[in-house]
Amino acid sequence: MAVGLVRLAFDCEAWLSLFTRGVSVATSSEDVHEKLRAVIDPEIGINIVDLGLIYDVKVEPYTAAEGEPEAQPDDEHATITMTLTTPGCPAGPTILKEVNDETEAMEHIRKVDIDLTFSPMWSEEMMSEDVRWILGR
């Protein structure tokens, strides 16, 4: 009976390899969101994703611009649209650097662009329900 189980497992792996051969696993926008939970707003002590500072994340294949090193097959380009709690946020430069560093540290991300916007302006309604509860809002 054990021989049959081993054979079944082997056959499943062989079958699965037909569909995954030559296919790379791309980074999803959800993967980037999860990575960005490590970035904490130093004034509030809450991660920037749950604060609602991340508006959009796009991950696309990386194409080298003139003067940049040639792209590898799995290289990706992340574009993050985000805001800060206020336009004059004193922690802004630190938060932006951490967003860039955390995203660049991901396995296939070759280039990161951060689009900082204040339209719409951030408001407490953008925080997750859990964060509003924690902060008593």
The pLDDT assigned to 69 comes to: 83
The pLDDT assigned to 1 comes to: 47
Domain 26-134 listed as CATH 3.60.150.10: no
The pLDDT assigned to 5 comes to: 44
Token code pair at residue 83: 């805001």
Q: Do the Cβ atoms of 39 and 57 come closer than 8 Å?
A: no
The pLDDT assigned to 122 comes to: 96
For residue 71, count CB atoms less than 10 angstroms from its CB and return exposed for 0-12, middle for 13-18, buried for 19 or more.
Answer: middle
Instruction: Delimit the domains of the chain by residue range.
Output: 26-134
Is 0.75 surpassed by the pTM of this model?
yes
Averaged over successive runs of 10 residues, the pLDDT of the chain (137 residues) comes to 46 48 70 97 95 97 89 93 96 98 96 97 95 89
The pLDDT assigned to 11 comes to: 52
Longest C-alpha distance within the chain, in Å?
A: 69
Question: Residue 90 belongs to what H/E stretch?
Answer: none
Question: Which residue, among 31, 57, 33, 41, has the nearest Cα to 114 in the 3D structure?
Answer: 57
